[in-house]
Structure 1
Amino acid sequence: MLSSDNLKAAGLMSGSMACFTFNDVCMKALSGVLPLEQAVFLRGIATCVLLFLLGRSLGTMHFNLPRREWSLIGLRCLGEIGATYCFLTALFHMPIANVTAILQVLPLVIALAAWLFLSEPLGWRRLLAIGIGLVGVLMIIQPGAGFSVWSLYALSSVGFITVRDLTVRKLSPDTPSMTVALMAALSITAGFGFASIGVEWVPVDRNLLGVIVLASMFIFLGYLFSVMVMRVGDIVFAAPFRYTGLIWALLLGFIMFGEWPNALTLIGAAIVVATGLFNLFRERDIARGT
């Protein structure tokens, strides 16, 4: 029988993915209305305030860190800025489900990069799964007649997120995650605020402001739930529920924007998810010594 803590963890993980996807919907709704730089900057202001208040309330945030930690946090922030720019650029020009499907390859790419650069073990079964998963990505982006150059931005965001997450693995366990998250939000806000100087700002009416506030709330709640899920239940049980984000993207893309991926994209997404799940469960079995 499943424990109540595991059910809570699964619910929190699913809720986190839903909130992140709703944030994506809000940002996509701003495309063609607000410049990307202005939209991210305005969202970032509210997000930074909310994260700071959360960190203070949890008592899990401080800034007295060694120079090495600040250097790693700086590198992670650069990865965040690059990932945000590439992901949202792709999102502004592609169906939300397609972009989300490409991002499902992240666990596979991170595992491969950790094997290549951090010497983390990776058996032949997982290597094979990664290879099959990458074939699934090719089916999603469809090089050839159906290829969209914006897919390269989505793939680039995978690269930046991989750099970000590998950097996290080098951080000391004593470095508060809330401090890292706040610095990332501050760097994104500052970076896009600086970039927005070179674009023509659009007046923000009540409706646009409401969408920006909603985006800030959703991204904040997504992070809050992802923190809470680490404190209850078995993370190995909850981790597969990350893929519910793809379901949300399919539903919301169809309802809000009338988008639905073609059959090849859906097959590719299914392959990526299946290989990701295999990689996850294989990693669990290895950790258990089975």
Structure 2
Amino acid sequence: MARLGDNARGALLMMASMAAFTLNDTLVKAAGASLPLMQILAIRGLVASCAIAALGWAFGAFRTRVSRRDVGLIVLRSLCELGAAFFFLTALMNMPLANVTALLQTLPLTLTLVGVLFLGERVGWRRWSAVGLGFVGMLLIVKPGMDSFDAWSLYALVAVGFVTARDLTVRGLSRNVPSILVTLAASVTVTVFAVIWTAITGGWAPVTGQNGPLVLGAAVLVSLAYLLSVLVMRVGDVSAVAPFRYTGLVWALVLGWAVFGDWPVASTLVGAALIAVGGLVTLWRDRRPPVSPTRSPVR
């Protein structure tokens, strides 16, 4: 069998990463039926942070000297990660998996829009058309002003805002800052917040033989997903690999139907398709290398 090229291996790693992230979301949503969200984040985060720290040690990430400026940016990014995790997972607990996943896929479009509005980037009509397509797709999923609209859709959109701010913060990091170190800082921040929240509110529910494996599985999967996301950035061209992030939508559709019995209505499917097309056009038009090697898929 012929050896796979870098782009082919990168595509496989990206698809595996998206599968792991979506499976993690599925287990978190299932565990949320009997456990408070913050307790899930605390348990998952403790396991995941230990795993990520071990990966960082193996990659030699802790030997890198980090400037004071980069430390500030890492702290800011970690706070954005905290906001994204809270709003995304709260929406996930109250929305169909496919809907919230589709809204999260607007990220390439929101990054383009913010780049134009605040960073002075120049965008042609094709990418503006892509942003417009994604916006229409978002409206089809959220359905503002209709009976099916609720606050949880706004939570998902706020999560997109935090993820956008997180990725923009990454652009300012020095190239020598290891991505695994940035990921560990975010994981520890979310975990500490979840532990404090749980301790203050006393919201600790019994961990049983049913929900315990779900949380443990989520911790293993999110650790695997972060590892894969790091490896993705080291293999292949970003322009060739990034479009495969949309396989997460396929996983969300299948798992949402198989596990929760949720199959999106036609307007949601059309909206998800428009978001995917808009994102793919944006990624295709933007073939420049990433600004920083620390950029990684969201969760």
TM-score by length of 2: 0.92
Structure 1 residues 266 and 77: CA distance shift in structure 2, 3 A: same
CA distance in 2, matches of 1:92, 1:64: 39
Structure 1 residues 99 and 205: CA distance shift in structure 2, 3 A: same
For residue 163 of structure 2, the aligned residue among 161, 164, 167 is: 161
The corresponding residue for 2:295 is none
Deviation at 1:234, TM superposition (A): 2.3
Q: What residue ranges of structure 1 are gaps of 5+ in the alignment? A: none
The corresponding residue for 1:54 is 55
1:88 aligns to 2:89 (yes or no): yes
Deviating more after overlay: 14-23 vs 69-78: 69-78
Residue deviations 1:236-258, cap 9 Å, x none?
21111000000000000000110
RMSD, matched Cα = 1.8
Deviation at 1:173, TM superposition (A): 0.7
Structure 1 residues 286 and 49: CA distance shift in structure 2, 3 A: closer
Deviation at 1:233, TM superposition (A): 2.3
Deviating more after overlay: 253-262 vs 125-134: 125-134
Amino acid at match of 2:233: M
Residue deviations 1:71-124, cap 9 Å, x none?
111111110010000000000011000000111111100111122222233223
CA distance in 1, matches of 2:165, 2:264: 29
Amino acid at match of 2:259: M
CA distance in 2, matches of 1:77, 1:232: 25
Q: Percent identity?
A: 47
Following superposition of structure 1 onto structure 2, how do residues 129-278 of structure 1 map, counting pairs within 5 Å?
A: 129-143=130-144, 144-197=146-199, 198-278=201-281
CA distance in 1, matches of 2:174, 2:118: 18
Amino acid at match of 2:107: L
For residue 282 of structure 1, the aligned residue among 282, 285, 295 is: 285
CA distance in 2, matches of 1:3, 1:47: 30
The corresponding residue for 1:110 is 111
CA distance in 2, matches of 1:259, 1:119: 41
The corresponding residue for 2:21 is 20
- The number of residue pairs the alignment matches comes to 287
Structure 1 residues 74 and 137: CA distance shift in structure 2, 3 A: same
CA distance in 1, matches of 2:288, 2:237: 14
Alpha-carbon contact 2:238-2:287 (below 8 Å) kept: no
Residue deviations 1:181-220, cap 9 Å, x none?
1000000000111111214210112332211111011111
Structure 1 residues 181 and 286: CA distance shift in structure 2, 3 A: closer
More helix as a share of residues: 1
Deviating more after overlay: 254-263 vs 111-120: 111-120
